[in-house]
Each structure stands twice: as C-alpha cells, then as structure tokens.
Amino acid sequence: MDELALLPLHSTSITAVAFGPLSTILTASAAGDVLLRSASPSTPLAALATLRPPGGASIQTLDVLPPLDKLHAATTVGVWAFANAKQQVRLWVPRA
C-alpha cells in the first residue's frame, strides 16, 4: 500500500476523520475546525472547505450524511454531522 500524502492539516490534534462522497475526506480538530479535503490520488489533501463553528469546542465525532431532502440534493458533499465537547450535536449543509 502506498501513502498518498502526509501533510499537517490542523494546528491542534486531529480528533475525528470521515470519508465523504466524491473522493473527499473530512477531518476535525481539538480546536473545533472541520476541514473538507480532496482524497483523490491526483490531488491528495487539497483544501476544499473549512468550517469553524462558534465556540471552538473540540470535535469528538464526525460523519457525512446524504442530503436530507430534495432541496439539498444538489450538494456534492452531503450534510456534515458532528458532536463536540460541549455535548452538542450539530448538522451543517455546506453551500455549493
């Protein structure tokens, strides 16, 4: 197996990783940032989007869900779901 890339992604510890649709990967940090990156072998870990929720609580778990309804069906990155250290579960629909 070959390693595609090894890059520093966050300024603090990575606390969660999830694979998204269309060759994407999401990583979350102890600082509360969520990064969407390319997982394509041609552009490994290229930055695609960053989410910095208010409060900066450490992200504990992270997942990518399919679009919630027909209104959001056009999004290519699904719905980001995460739970943080403040005992909150948050859902985000990235804008296309």
Pairwise CA distance, residues 70 & 59, whole Å: 28
Mean pLDDT across the chain: 78
Of 36-40, 55-59, 68-72, least confident by mean pLDDT is: 68-72
Share of the chain above pLDDT 90, in %: 0
Q: Are 54 and 48 in contact (CB under 8 A)?
A: no
pLDDT level of residue 74 (50, 70, 90 thresholds): low
What pLDDT, on the 0 to 100 scale, is given for residue 92? 80
Give the DSSP per-residue string, 9-20. --SS-EEEEEEE
67 burial level (CB within 10 Å; 0-12, 13-18, 19+): middle
CA separation (Å) from 12 to 19, 49, 58, 79, 91?
Answer: 20, 18, 10, 24, 22
Q: Are 84 and 32 in contact (CB under 8 A)?
A: yes
